[in-house]
A and B are shown apart, each in its own frame.
Chain A
């Protein structure tokens, strides 16, 4: 029983139409064909149609977690919707064993005017819970959602956090055999997210799970295997670390945005291996940088800053000359000049980072140079690492 397959996708494809009116016409045509007992030839693309999911196959066994990663619009959510039966495939076959629980847009189906209590019953029924199950789970759901005194309040007066908590609580207690999770953990506070993870890992033991997330942390932590979807097609299936690595390499192909003023950057070089446009380093490597600038202005005690951003835009690390230098900053003179920067240890976990270079006045009110996401750095490392900042140090037997 522990190893039975609960999800099987066999060369599954799904097409959509780009234009609304044409989609309506196709809809009527397909219905007419089906009613006459004819095939609507779903395997053929008509004008303005495209494959949103193209020939995807995989299996998930009970107790196993599969992660789907890929850029926006690559077809991940459509795959989840096909597994849950919202969309039917246009090619291939989807087989699902048992009850599907979907943590996709939790709280869909809540009626704003009804109270929390009424919505628990309503939403539970929509998610396929029976009257008996509902009676058994009601108190647990209320406890989990921690909505306390607001049980009789219409959900339209709930805070967005309470709304999501209640939606998650109902969906997470429907005892599924197949659990689909789509970016749902991006909401809620830290404490509630931890609670959600705990619930999902408990559910994982008894069902097959498919997780879609842009958070590589979530994928790295929660999944046994990963599939990379690129432009609607599956391009790789393997361990989370391998898949994330490949995904980041694909991501790194994106073009950077450069803005300059007052100062011009002549060259920027890191002493590290380069794969195409991307610098590749290990988590604890030192970073040696050489920068050459041409300046139209002179500026005493300028500050040089190097930012490290995640592809999501989140700032994870910063080096700046004020903190690390002699405290006086760098004097910029008119004409050409060079500077060497040495960062002792990178201390970043595996992943792709965008580096930005900023030269500013000491009070940071005037930017002389701002190169936003000018260089890409891929940090190789152990995919088990969770913290963004990796401390260096040793452990010795005492």
Chain B
């Protein structure tokens, strides 16, 4: 028998104070760990259920993109810049980090909208939905990172011991993805334009971020890159594995601080407004 009393009153606003808000959030996350795991399992296994080759798709898709870029590169169609390492290795590492952002944000932004009927019929943690949506991109990241390490062997290059510091890049990147997901999933639940717009934006963003090419540092692209936190995360990840240090340290630190601050703002925003999702869906 549970004796916790829950009170619902109108207007879940900032008036209740940050301390109460963070206490509520911490409690909710603590109680919903098992739910998050189950939701992650659902997303992951359901994706590969009705498929003969299953998880193979997680390997196949990035390999295909890299092969395409190599063919275009060798044909002289694309100038990928000086990447200072074998191109396939450069590309697979870039793809691995980019994928956390792109697949993570796409899944996160759709977390509420795709759970529609469930949200209007059962009261459960909506944060768990958003957090769990990052599970599959994380697994795919690990798979791709494994492919990257295999390529180190193929090219007989020794990865830097600093590769163990990769989590230092993953953590702020994850905060950025979750922060954006908390914001966008709510707006997407109200107005489907957000999800549709995001798909278009993601393609643009991939070409504007040095995932598969080296940045030129000049012109409009160079300016855009300087303000693109993804550039710092992706290059920091690659740097740690190959060079053993982060070349753009300042940019990386500023991006990380901003991402973490943004995450907390988004979390509070989500907590205060998630109660309005069911009635507008």
Contact = CB atoms under 8 A, between A and B. Distances in A.
Contact of B34 (A99, A102, A130): A130
A256 B116 CA distance: 39
B34 A87 contact: no
A236 interface: no
B117 interface: yes
B274 to A, nearest CB: 10
Interface stretch (A29-37, A188-196, A237-245, A340-348): A29-37
Given A27-B190, A27-B276, A42 B11 contact: yes
Contacts of B50: 113
B9 A93 contact: yes
A325 interface: no
Given A108-B122, A111-B46, A24 B191 contact: yes
Contact of B15 (A37, A96, A109): A37
Contacts of B269: 35
B65 interface: no
Size bin of chain A's contact surface: 35 or more
A221 to B, nearest CB: 25
A43 B2 contact: no
B123 A125 contact: no
A82 B279 CA distance: 11
A89 B8 contact: yes
A39 interface: yes
B260 interface: no
A278 interface: no
A253 interface: no
Interface stretch (A114-122, A144-152, A303-311): A114-122
Nearest to B192: A24
B276 A30 contact: yes
A87 B6 contact: no
B10 to A, nearest CB: 4
Nearest to B2: A98
Given A97-B3, A122-B39, A31 B273 contact: yes
B221 interface: no
Given A24-B280, A35-B273, A82 B15 contact: no
Contact of B124 (A1, A40, A90, A126): A126
Contact of B118 (A1, A30, A84, A126): A126
Interface residues of B, number: 45
A223 interface: no
A174 to B, nearest CB: 11
Contacts of A86: 119-123, 278
Nearest to A38: B13
Interface string B1-26: 11111111111111100000000000
Contacts of A24: 190-191, 280
B119 to A, nearest CB: 8
A218 B38 CA distance: 35
A196 to B, nearest CB: 18
A374 interface: no
Contacts of B46: 111, 113-114
Contacts of A286: none
Contact of B49 (A88, A95, A126, A154): A154
Interface string A39-51: 1101100000000
Contact of B122 (A96, A126, A131): A126
Contact of B123 (A84, A114, A131): A84
Contacts of B35: 125-126
A85 interface: yes
A98 B2 CA distance: 4
Interface string A3-33: 0000000000010100000011001101101
A124 B11 CA distance: 30
B142 to A, nearest CB: 22
A364 B248 CA distance: 91
A128 interface: yes
B123 A95 contact: no
Given A111-B46, A118-B41, A93 B1 contact: no
A121 B259 CA distance: 34
A154 B50 CA distance: 10
A237 to B, nearest CB: 21
Given A37-B15, A121-B38, A114 B45 contact: yes
Contacts of A122: 38-39, 41-42
A373 interface: no
Interface in A205-223: 206
B3 A127 contact: no
Interface string B193-210: 000000000000000000
Contacts of A109: 118, 121-122
Given A100-B123, A105-B121, A109-B118, A90 B273 contact: no
Nearest to B273: A31
Given A40-B13, A95-B5, 8 more contacts: A16-B279, A31-B276, A88-B9, A111-B46, A118-B42, A125-B39, A126-B118, A134-B34
5 closest Cβ contacts across the A-B interface? A37-B14, A125-B38, A98-B2, A108-B121, A85-B123
29 contacts: A30-B276, A31-B276, A34-B273, A35-B13, A38-B13, A85-B6, A86-B122, A88-B275, A88-B276, A90-B10, A93-B7, A93-B8, A95-B6, A95-B7, A97-B5, A99-B2, A102-B121, A104-B121, A108-B117, A108-B118, A108-B122, A114-B46, A118-B42, A122-B39, A125-B34, A125-B38, A125-B39, A128-B124, A206-B1
Interface of A: 1, 14, 16, 23-24, 27-28, 30-31, 33-40, 42-43, 81-82, 84-100, 102, 104-105, 108-109, 111, 113-114, 118, 121-122, 125-128, 130-131, 134, 154, 177, 206
Interface of B: 1-15, 34-35, 37-39, 41-42, 45-46, 49-50, 117-124, 186, 190-191, 269, 272-273, 275-276, 278-280
